[in-house]
Structure 1
Amino acid sequence: MRFRDCSTSCLKWTSRLMMRFTLCGFLVLYHIFGRFSIYLYVTSWMKVLFGRFQ
């Protein structure tokens, strides 16, 4: 529960930051989640391909 509360408060804080610095906040979030999403995409494709070959 404590982790969830921390995550929600962090989301609220980031949303406030985004409201103040929209472009900068967006770039930072994209920098973090963009690379993470690319990593997830690649790993999912690797699982699919290796699952077919095995």
Structure 2
Amino acid sequence: MLYRLPQSLKWLRVGGSHRSKQERQIVRSLLAFAGALLVMDVVLLSALR
């Protein structure tokens, strides 16, 4: 999952300049969702150990 982040960040930087407010909100919610998934992964891994 972590190896996908630089690619998506690059895509965000490329398309961020000409982007509508609605698209920006969608991207922000997607990033929040991905961050929550990463946090859950870390919590589950630490719980399994």
When normalised by structure 2's length, the TM-score is 0.53
Aligned partner letter, 2:34: F
The answer for unaligned runs of 5 or more in structure 1 is 1-6
Question: Is residue 30 of structure 1 aligned with residue 28 of structure 2?
Answer: yes
Aligned partner letter, 2:22: C
Q: What fraction of aligned residue pairs are identical, expressed as a percent?
A: 2
- Superposed CA deviations along residues 12-50 of structure 1, whole A, max 9, x for unmatched, are xx5464333352232121122211110111111110111
Q: How many residues align?
A: 42
When normalised by structure 1's length, the TM-score is 0.50
| Aligned residues: CA RMSD | 2.7
Q: Higher helix fraction: Structure 1 or Structure 2?
A: 1
